[in-house]
Amino acid sequence: MPLSVVSVVCLLLLATASVMALHSLALAGDGSFYLLRVLGTEQVFGPDARVLGNAVRQAPVLLAVRLGLTDTHLLAVLLGVGQLVVPAAVWSVALVLSRAHNLVFSAVAITAGICAGTTWFFSVNESVLAVPLSVLLAVLLWQPLPWRSGHVALASTVSIVLVASYGTAALTGTVLAVWATWRAANSRSRMERTGSAIVALASTVSAILGAAGIVAARGHANAQSLLLDVLSVNPWELYVALASGVVLIYAMTPRVARRLQWIFYAAGALGAAVATLGLVMTSYNVSAASFDAYAARGGAVLAALALELFLFLLWISNRKLASPATAGMEGSDVRAEPRWPLLVPVLFVGAMALADLQGLGHWSRSLDAFRAEVDKAVGVVSIDDALPPDEQQAVWGWTSSSLSLILRGDADAGVLVNSRPTYVPFPPSSAREQLADKYTWRE
């Protein structure tokens, strides 16, 4: 595959994530509360069951705090680096490793586009990193040739991080555990057997912990909302994009008759266009986009699970690719394929990136309006008294107090509060006690 195609897709993902991080979009949803807690405790914040994933995502902020950085503007950008740029980098590694096979590369790219376009507006969600890590591990397990030391190190590290990253590892971790066990049993390389055994063990633990977490969370509001969102196909744009991706990948398979290929391409392109248009229209309301991105966490995991199963079945049906001799033959076949279908994943990821970037202007204006009112306010002020409804797009259901502390220009600034919060993490009157006075927003 031409490296230019791989580079373009990786650049689209990394550039989109970087721009979103620079606009402090990591503060959307629960992001301001997470950053507040990280700054207040100078420790990894989040559930113990997701501590390893959160440690990776929050590492840039924690490192900056330990170095003495107190500008919450820069810290919000660094939060975005961990929550958006790092996942984009993981997707990019998976794309580079899958570049030898057009169909696999396209499937990984389309899945990356789906997850980026539908979940990045609520980047604080742990699945934003857990999903690409799971896909990267699946791509490593799919690798036709025996693992070398770099593969072993990468696969081992990723599988250990996934042990405590997200509860739905009960699904994705089970597939990875079975696959890694099978690969270890059939490998003739001691290094690969060792690496596969580590992956199998870590994935088994992650699946067990994930299942235990699901059982323990039964009846919890978040668990119920995740199940409800999946059963109600919410947000619909994700599932339309996923269906169109499946159709496009099927159209790229050599088994499809040429006269039918264009029908599948047209149907897939139409579905992708509808999904993109829906995401673009939603992004005009940043708060609605964040809620939809929160709802998309279950669908993103299903997309990753579908990709894992696809790669697993492809690996099973092409076991001969594990031979270096036949792998070389396979490479010849791939080079003989027409290159124009590679436009499909490029255009798909580009459309999803456009959907993400569309709402950034609205986010920035809303965040600036919120910050101006915080600096103007005295004491505790209701958000409804400070901002008209059309300027409240950066407001989440209960995080206005946390966002006020992150955006304040000085420690004496006011605190905006939600009039009917769904959750009260701390009394607004004691907000100043939650964050040291040295932390202020500077531009």
Full-model pTM: 0.93
Q: What is the band of 330 on the pLDDT scale with cuts at 50, 70, 90? A: very low
Arithmetic mean of pLDDT, 330-334: 39
What is the phi/psi pair of residue 148, to 5°?
-105, -175
Distance set, CA 272 to CA 176, 245, 288 (Å): 29, 8, 21
Q: How far apart are CA 29 and CA 41, in angstroms?
A: 20
- DSSP secondary structure code for residue 147 in this structure: P
**Residues 259, 404: one domain?**
no
Report yes or no on 443 lying in a domain.
Answer: no
- Residue 42 carries which DSSP code? S
CB 400 within 8 A of CB 417: yes
Give the domain range for residue 381.
361-434
Same domain, 421 and 335: no
| Residue 365, CA distances (Å) to 16, 23, 131, 404, 418 in order | 19, 10, 31, 16, 19
**CB burial of residue 74 (10 Å; 0-12, 13-18, 19+):** middle
Say yes or no: 232 and 377 in one domain: no
pLDDT exceeds 60 at position 332: no
Lowest pLDDT segment from 121-125, 295-299, 417-421, 437-441? 417-421
**What is the mean pLDDT of the segment spanning 200-221?**
88
Domain-located, residue 405: yes
Q: Which residue has the tokens 């264009």?
A: 262
What percentage of residues in the chain have a pLDDT greater than 70?
95
Regarding whether 174 and 44 lie in a shared domain, the answer is yes
Q: Specify whether 239 is located in the same domain as 300.
A: yes
If one counts every other C-beta atom within 10 angstroms of the C-beta of residue 115, the result is: 30
Which backbone phi and psi does 71 adopt, to 5 degrees?
-80, 110
Over residues 212-229, the mean pLDDT reads 80
Residue 325 covered by a domain: yes
- Mean pLDDT, to the nearest integer, of 376-402? 90
> What average pLDDT does range 212-235 have in this prediction?
83
Q: Do residues 86 and 130 touch, judged by C-beta distance below 8 A?
A: no
Q: Is 324 exposed, middle or buried (0-12, 13-18, 19+ CB in 10 A)?
A: exposed
**Which of 309, 325, 358 is a domain's end point?**
358
Answer yes or no: is 441 within a domain.
no
Mark whether 270 and 395 lie in a shared domain: no
Q: How confident is the model at residue 219 (pLDDT cuts 50, 70, 90)?
A: low
DSSP 29: T
Sign of CA dihedral 164, 166, 170, 172: negative
Say if residue 169 is in the same domain as residue 233: yes
409: its two tokens? 């220009």
Q: What pLDDT band is residue 320 in, cutting at 50, 70 and 90?
A: low
Rounded-to-integer distance, Cα 393 and Cα 378, Å: 22
Averaged pLDDT for residues 38-56: 94
User: Which CA distances in Å does 358 have to 8, 175, 363, 364?
Assistant: 20, 36, 10, 11
Together in a domain, 350 and 416: no
In a domain, 144, yes or no: yes
Is 25 inside any structural domain? yes
- Indicate if the pLDDT at residue 325 is higher than 90: no
Of the pLDDT bands very low, low, confident and very high (cuts 50, 70, 90), residue 410 is very high
Q: What mean pLDDT comes out for the span 261-287?
A: 94
Q: Average pLDDT of 280-299?
A: 91
Task: Tell me, yes or no, whether 131 and 18 share the same domain.
Answer: yes
DSSP secondary structure letter of residue 82: I
Residue type, 382: S
Q: Distance (Å, rounded) from C-alpha 132 to C-alpha 139?
A: 10
Please check whether residue 383 lies inside any domain of the structure: yes
- Helix residue ranges, H only, 217-323: 221-231, 236-252, 258-283, 286-295, 297-317
In a domain? residue 442: no
User: Looking at the structure, do residues 393 and 352 belong to the same domain, yes or no?
Assistant: no
* Structural domain count of the chain: 2
Check residue 217 and give its pLDDT: 76
Question: Which pLDDT score is estimated for 414?
Answer: 95
Domain boundary among 358, 393, 408: 358
Q: What is the mean pLDDT of the chain?
A: 91
Average the pLDDT over 171-199 and give the result. Answer: 95
**How confident is the model at residue 328, as a pLDDT?**
39
What confidence score (pLDDT) does residue 323 get? 44
Query: Is residue 267 domain-shared with residue 179, that is, in the same domain?
Result: yes
End position of a domain, from candidates 340, 358, 376 = 358
Residue 397's pLDDT band (cuts 50, 70, 90): confident
* Together in a domain, 262 and 401: no
Quote the distance between the C-alpha of residue 422 and its chain's center.
Answer: 25
pLDDT (tens digit, 9 = 90+) per residue, 102-115? 999 999 999 999 99
